[in-house]
Structure 1
Amino acid sequence: MRYLFLLIICLTTVNSYSQDSTATKTATKVKGTLVSSSTDLPLTEANIVNINEVVGTATDDKGVFEIRAKVNDTLHLSYLGYKSIKVRVTNDWLKFGNTEIKMTESALALEEVTVKQLELTGYLEVDMNQVPITSNNRYRISGLPGQGYEAGKPNLATRVLGAIFNPADFLYNMFGRKPNEMHKLKKMKEDDEIRSQLSKRFDREMLLVLLQVTKYDLDELVNQCNYSKDFINTANDLQILDAISVCYEEYKVIKNSKERKNRKNKS
């Protein structure tokens, strides 16, 4: 009788574990609710991105979101005026469903801005000289894909040719050191929700998280791709994503061409 009792306990435990494991493996989405830690009110239109799967979504009017994920995936949660957080997907989360997540408001210190007013004289030729000129010309290299290169400097043509045909520089080091992150560019471009979120943002935060680079490296990367400072400072995150993507595709073309040439020379 004693052995029968132990056998029943073992079978029950194994069956329960099997069910939990099956539920975890078959679960493809996690559900959560974002609320403010200070007011407990739902945060609507908050941005959620699964860094591992490279998919995104947003909360509804009740602060609820649902996103594709598996155990140990990391979700990046962000909302204007609140501190962004990263949350790891656990077995319990997948098992028990909707989880409430509280976000904390961030204290933003606004810098004092001095606006210089134009002192117009009424003479067109004089007044035109006071207006700052922004030049965002774009240069295209024949034979390479993409929309071209944005410029703001007189010696741009030289810089373009120098950067493209010398891939063993910053671009080579950046793309070569982070091939997995760069491969995410394609996924990011294909996800409509991520593209929608990036088109409304200018803080580069989501790009830094997904590409695993620093703010300095990101700015330098776009700069080395020969986009102007004006473009870097004014572009939204989606435009920056597309700029990097174009540069990466062109880098791969040049890199493959050089490798084929080296192999041919060796043979």
Structure 2
Amino acid sequence: MKNYLLLFFLLVFSTISIAQEAEKALGVVVNSSDGKPLENVNIVNLNQVIGTATNKQGEFEINAKPNDTLHLSYLGFKSIKVRVTNDWLKFGSATIELTELALALEEVVVNQLKLTGYLEVDVKQVPVINDNYRYQISGLPSTGYEANSAGTLSKIVGSIFNPADFLHRTFGKKPNEMRKLKKMKQDDEIRNLLASRFDREMLMALLNIDRVDLDEIVSQCDYSKEFIQTANDLQILDAISECYEEYKLLNRER
């Protein structure tokens, strides 16, 4: 009897192990023009909010389930989304091709300062130094808001007592996507990826919003235009996450 029980548990354990192995999508990413493998291609499972990157041979593996969507991005190449299928998980590795982008540089205009020797005149030609600052509302567990206008404080304080405040308008439409923020912050691969990027592409894919809406969210959370333009994607993620946590806190207190 003991032998049968032991055999039963071994079979169960083997079945579980096989099932766990089947939950990994294996693949190779290559350049569509010459078939050469691409190293360090960024791959994110948009459903499970986990990430990885290809090795020197262009190979990768990532936890995935049928119908999960993988987002692949690489500098100089067109990003794509790939749906994970049962056949892919069952039969092994898949080859994924990325297509190169044609890059065009924007025109850059350099303005030379023409000094006159008169301080009152010359000082007006010096670019304005970013004087954004942050303040904190008592009772909120945040590092504070970054002010971008003289009326920001009254705007934020007023919104706390307004049932249709800007936080509700911003986050209320996409609660499922916003819940991914916590997972994104916990995944080291995604954090490292976002820290090196400034194109907002990965954030848009993960949160399922376009660039205009993304910038509007950060702006409505009272981060300055300068911050929005210069911050890397990880800083934008942290800004939105902090703002969302405050939104949930305010909703609970109402």
Common topology (TM > 0.5): yes
Once residues 204 and 163 of structure 2 are traced to their aligned partners in structure 1, the CA distance between those partners, rounded to angstroms, is: 23
Consecutive unaligned residues in structure 2, runs of 5 or more: 1-14
Matches within 5 A, 1:72-87: 72-87=67-82
SS at match of 1:253: helix
In structure 2, which of residues 35, 39, 42 is the aligned counterpart of residue 40 of structure 1?
Answer: 35
Aligned to 1:114: 109
**Stretch deviating more after TM superposition (122-131 or 74-83):** 122-131
In structure 2, which of residues 89, 92, 102 is the aligned counterpart of residue 94 of structure 1?
Answer: 89
In structure 1, which of residues 198, 202, 220 is the aligned counterpart of residue 198 of structure 2?
Answer: 202
SS at match of 1:35: strand
**Which amino acid in the other structure matches residue 169 of structure 2?**
N
Once residues 242 and 118 of structure 2 are traced to their aligned partners in structure 1, the CA distance between those partners, rounded to angstroms, is: 44
In structure 1, which of residues 201, 208, 211 is the aligned counterpart of residue 207 of structure 2?
Answer: 211
TM-fit CA distance, 1:166: 2.9
Aligned to 1:3: none
Matches within 5 A, 1:216-235: 216-235=212-231
Distance verdict in 2 for CA 1:122–1:95, change over 3 Å: farther
**Which amino acid in the other structure matches residue 132 of structure 1?**
P
**Which amino acid in the other structure matches residue 36 of structure 1?**
N
Once residues 44 and 165 of structure 1 are traced to their aligned partners in structure 2, the CA distance between those partners, rounded to angstroms, is: 51
TM-fit CA distance, 1:95: 1.8
Once residues 47 and 231 of structure 2 are traced to their aligned partners in structure 1, the CA distance between those partners, rounded to angstroms, is: 26
Aligned to 1:173: 169
**Which amino acid in the other structure matches residue 246 of structure 1?**
E
**Which amino acid in the other structure matches residue 106 of structure 1?**
L
SS at match of 2:100: coil
Deviation string 1:168-189 (CA, Å, 9 cap, x unpaired) is 2442133222111111000000
Once residues 153 and 74 of structure 1 are traced to their aligned partners in structure 2, the CA distance between those partners, rounded to angstroms, is: 40
**Which amino acid in the other structure matches residue 183 of structure 1?**
R
In structure 2, which of residues 115, 125, 128 is the aligned counterpart of residue 130 of structure 1?
Answer: 125
How many pairs does the alignment contain?
240
Answer yes or no: is the 8 Å Cα contact 2:27–2:94 preserved in 1: yes
**Which amino acid in the other structure matches residue 248 of structure 1?**
Y
Consecutive unaligned residues in structure 1, runs of 5 or more: 1-19, 259-267
TM-score, structure 1 as length reference: 0.83
SS at match of 2:228: helix
**Stretch deviating more after TM superposition (108-117 or 95-104):** 108-117
TM-fit CA distance, 1:62: 1.6
In structure 2, which of residues 185, 194, 199 is the aligned counterpart of residue 189 of structure 1?
Answer: 185
Distance verdict in 2 for CA 1:169–1:108, change over 3 Å: farther
Aligned to 2:135: 139
Once residues 213 and 204 of structure 2 are traced to their aligned partners in structure 1, the CA distance between those partners, rounded to angstroms, is: 9
Percent identity between the two aligned chains: 64
Once residues 191 and 236 of structure 1 are traced to their aligned partners in structure 2, the CA distance between those partners, rounded to angstroms, is: 17
Once residues 220 and 94 of structure 2 are traced to their aligned partners in structure 1, the CA distance between those partners, rounded to angstroms, is: 43
TM-fit CA distance, 1:118: 2.2
TM-fit CA distance, 1:27: 1.5
Answer yes or no: is the 8 Å Cα contact 1:167–1:254 preserved in 2: no
Aligned to 2:239: 243
TM-fit CA distance, 1:53: 0.4
